[in-house]
Each structure stands twice: as structure tokens, then as C-alpha cells.
């Protein structure tokens, strides 16, 4: 595995590694105004009908809360509010 900066700069566990077998992960995001907590209908409206394992962020346009959302294999949305570090 080779860090994407080809070894230049600091090497931390946060360096993104890319191989032929492991592609970079890109998270989808939405700035839709959702409820607190978001409803399944709101998440489906924001991202469409995604398959199992879909992962994204909702940067809530209404209150500024950031939600991590994941689509389960049972066609349900799961979410968790992210908390700002202090």
C-alpha cells in the first residue's frame, strides 16, 4: 500500500491508502434541512433509495447538526449525531 501523497509529508494513521484492491472511500453528503432526529422519508428524499452499506453525512441546513447515516441490509436507515470535539 502506498499513501496517496507517495510518502511525502507526515505519515499518520489518517493517510488515505490506495491499492488495486481497495479503492478510496468517498462519502456522499446532503445539506437538506431534516428533523432532529431525521426521518426515514427525509433521508430517502436526501439520498434516494440506496442499497445496503450506503454511508453518508447530512450537514443539516436547518440547525447545523451533522448526522452520520447508514443504510442497512434490511432497507432501514440508521443515524447518529456527530459531536464537535472540545
Q: What is the pLDDT of residue 2?
A: 47
- Is the pLDDT score of 25 beyond 60? yes
State if pTM tops 0.85: no
Q: What is the pLDDT of residue 78?
A: 92
* Cα three-residue angle 31-32-33, rounded to 5 degrees: 120
pLDDT in tens, 53-85: 889 999 888 777 889 888 887 778 999 998 888
Q: What is the pLDDT of residue 83?
A: 86
Which residues touch 59 (CB under 8 Å, ≥6 apart)?
29, 30, 31, 66
Structural domains counted in the chain: 1
- Domain range holding 14? 2-82
- CA quadruple 39, 67, 48, 62: dihedral sign: positive
- Is the pLDDT score of 13 beyond 70? no
Q: CA 38 → CA 41, 47, 79, distances in Å?
A: 8, 13, 8
Q: What is the pLDDT of residue 4?
A: 52
Amino acid at each position: 500500500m502506498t499513501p496517496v501523497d507517495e510518502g511525502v509529508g507526515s505519515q499518520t494513521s489518517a493517510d488515505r491508502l490506495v491499492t488495486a484492491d481497495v479503492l478510496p472511500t468517498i462519502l456522499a453528503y446532503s445539506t437538506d434541512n431534516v428533523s432532529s432526529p431525521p426521518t426515514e422519508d427525509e433521508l430517502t428524499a436526501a439520498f434516494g433509495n440506496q442499497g445496503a452499506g450506503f454511508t453518508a453525512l447530512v450537514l443539516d441546513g436547518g440547525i447545523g447538526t451533522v448526522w452520520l447515516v447508514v443504510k442497512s441490509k434490511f432497507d432501514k436507515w440508521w443515524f447518529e449525531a456527530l459531536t464537535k470535539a472540545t
